[in-house]
Amino acid sequence: MKDQRAVTLLLAFALALPLGACNREPEWRGTPIKPALVVPTLTFADSAGALIPLKNGAGDASMVFFGYTNCPDICPTTLSDWVRVKTALGEKAHRVHFVFISVDPERDTPAISQRFVAQFDPSFRGLSGDAVTTVAVQKAFAVASAKQPSASAEGYLVGHPAQTFLMDDEGRVRVSYSFGAGWDVMAADLKLLLR
Amino acid sequence: MRKGRAAACWWCAPAFVCSPLLVQAMVERNAPVHAVTASVADSVIVTDAWARPALKGGTGGAYMTITNQSGRTIRIVGATSTNATTTELHASSVHDGMAHMAPVPTLVITPGARVTLKPGGLHFMLFGLRKALVKGDQTLLTLRIQNGDQVVVSVAVRTQ
């Protein structure tokens, strides 16, 4: 009886071992989000009115950033980093969607948002939703933005999240990258995910 | 790229044109020209001025390194560009994961000091671009120094 129990335990352990190994999180170089945020599929309209769901095809990944097109510094710098990330991914680049979501829908139309990102790479996706969608997508990613009244000529500035998020093909936001984390860090993590 | 010097030379040019006798006198006395014509702008050296691409009507950001080679503190109190409706100096900062910007009215550079405007930090904001900033192009920016001097900087548009 004792022997039988020991064999059962051993068998269970042997079976659990590879399962555990499968579930183990990769050793991300960015900052892991634990547990991962699960983002519902939100839909944006492009300038032609076509609907674009914020989701990945099987085996794909997204890098997501929230900003505004009148931002001359943090946002363009992030998009420039993404250009390097895409280059570093080589053949795997087509499996990654680089998505910029405007948090200033008042000024950024879908067309402006797309033109803004296309300056850096035409394959990048620039989205801008209505006010409700903009609030919903920020809530899903657990981020916020705020208009900053300013004496500046621009009328107002926008405080916005500074990080890039990595989202997998199940809508799970698994890793975040603070501003300046480095394009090589993002590229390394994407290679891990897309292995 | 030494636009500070170049700009100072243009700025001083009318003085030479109007005063040939003065120039002649200096040459005869073998005096160094810059000793007489020295301006604050002459001592402001700007290198590696660049900006990322930006849309027409949008906002651009310009970066550069400014060195004060004079023996006195200089204060940059503003900038203008013919390609922008307004140009302002701003500083970016990230606190608790949020990116913010705030105008910087005056950039103070002590004697011999070098200030680098770079992504994530200080930058000139070009509001209401009359022409898009396109990779490979150049745009001009004029820095205004408190004493009234100006330095014209050519800014190269590139992605990194």
Residues of chain B with pLDDT under 70: 1-38
| B14 inside 8 A of chain A by CB | no
Q: Which of B58, B59, B100 is closest, CB to CB, to A148? A: B100
Is the bond preceding residue B20 a cis peptide, omega within 30 degrees? no
| B88 inside 8 A of chain A by CB | yes
- In the block, residue with structure tokens 């095809």: A57
Question: pLDDT digit string (tens) for A67-82?
Answer: 999 999 999 999 999 9
| B4 inside 8 A of chain A by CB | no
pLDDT attached to residue A149: 85
What's the Cα-to-Cα distance from A10 to each of A6, A13, A17, B151, rounded to whole Å?
6, 5, 11, 78
CB–CB contact B99 A159 (8 Å): yes
What's the Cα-to-Cα distance from A23 to each of A8, A19, A26, B2, B47, rounded to whole Å?
23, 6, 9, 58, 51
Tokens of A182: 């480095």
A123 C-beta neighbours (distance < 10 Å), count: 13
CB–CB contact A120 B126 (8 Å): no
Q: Which of B55, B99, B159 is closest, CB to CB, to A74? A: B99
Question: pLDDT digit string (tens) for A84-143?
Answer: 999 999 999 999 999 999 999 999 999 999 999 999 999 999 999 999 999 999 999 999
Least confident of A3-7, A33-37, A99-103, B60-64: A3-7
Reported pTM = 0.82
Question: CB under 8 Å to A51, separation ≥6 — which residues?
Answer: A43, A44, A45
Angle CA B151–B12–B76, to nearest 5: 25
d(CA A80, CA A123): 13
Computed over every residue of chain A, the mean pLDDT equals: 90
Question: pLDDT digit string (tens) for A48-67?
Answer: 999 999 999 999 999 999 99
Q: At what angle do helices A183-193 and A74-89 cross, to 10 degrees?
A: 50
Tokens of A48: 């032609």
Largest CA distance in chain B: 65
CB–CB contact A162 B86 (8 Å): no
**Nearest partner of B114 among B51, B52, B70, B60, judged by Cα:** B70
What's the Cα-to-Cα distance from A81 to each of A36, A105, A159, A161, A179, rounded to whole Å?
24, 24, 20, 16, 10
The residue with greater pLDDT, A84 or A148, is: A84
